[in-house]
Amino acid sequence: MDALLRLTLANIKSFTRDRSALFWTLAFPLIFVVPFGSIFSGRNNQRTIGFADVDGTPASAQLKTAFGAVDGVHLVDGSEADLVARMKKGEVTAVIIVPKGYGDTVAAKAGPASVTVYTDPSQGSADGATRQLVGFVL
């Protein structure tokens, strides 16, 4: 064990004495991390999500309030067709549809209440984030 400790200390001393090894191991990665981190850190995490309430019950209004309370989410009201068209144009990242009968299902506790979520398949990261958001709120 004593030989292993002495060998390890010798390797550490050898590494710290080699300036080029220290540069390539420590300084060079920092040269890339700092500029690229500052360039890409200002990304906007705000998502605009369409919300179509077909049901119109207090339970669906409560669901809308829950979605609106999430940080970084801006809800846009409208009809299903209008919101899907706006999603295709890129104005909203996803559309959540609360179907007719949602409030009755919640009130009767007759099983899981469902909502329909439309996402843009060309925005893969937004698709996954929206699915996680819907699962979290529900």
Tokens of 60: 């669906």
Q: Are residues 36 and 51 in the same domain?
A: no
pLDDT tens-place string over residues 29-42: 888 888 888 787 66
> Sheet harboring 94-98: ordered strands across?
73-77, 47-53, 94-98, 116-119
Q: Are residues 13 and 70 in the same domain?
A: no
pLDDT tens-place string over residues 40-97: 766 566 788 999 988 888 888 898 998 888 888 889 998 889 998 998 888 888 899 9
Residue 118 CB partners (closer than 8 Å, separation 6+): 83, 84, 87, 94, 95, 97
CA 37 to chain centroid:
19
pLDDT tens-place string over residues 95-129: 999 988 888 888 887 777 788 888 887 777 677 77
- Domain tally, the chain: 2
Please give the Cα distance from 95 to 21 (Å, whole number).
53
Q: Are residues 129 and 84 in the same domain?
A: yes
Q: Are residues 60 and 120 in the same domain?
A: yes
C-alpha gyration radius of the chain: 26
- pLDDT at position 113, please? 78
Write out the residue range of the structural domain in which residue 7 sits: 2-40
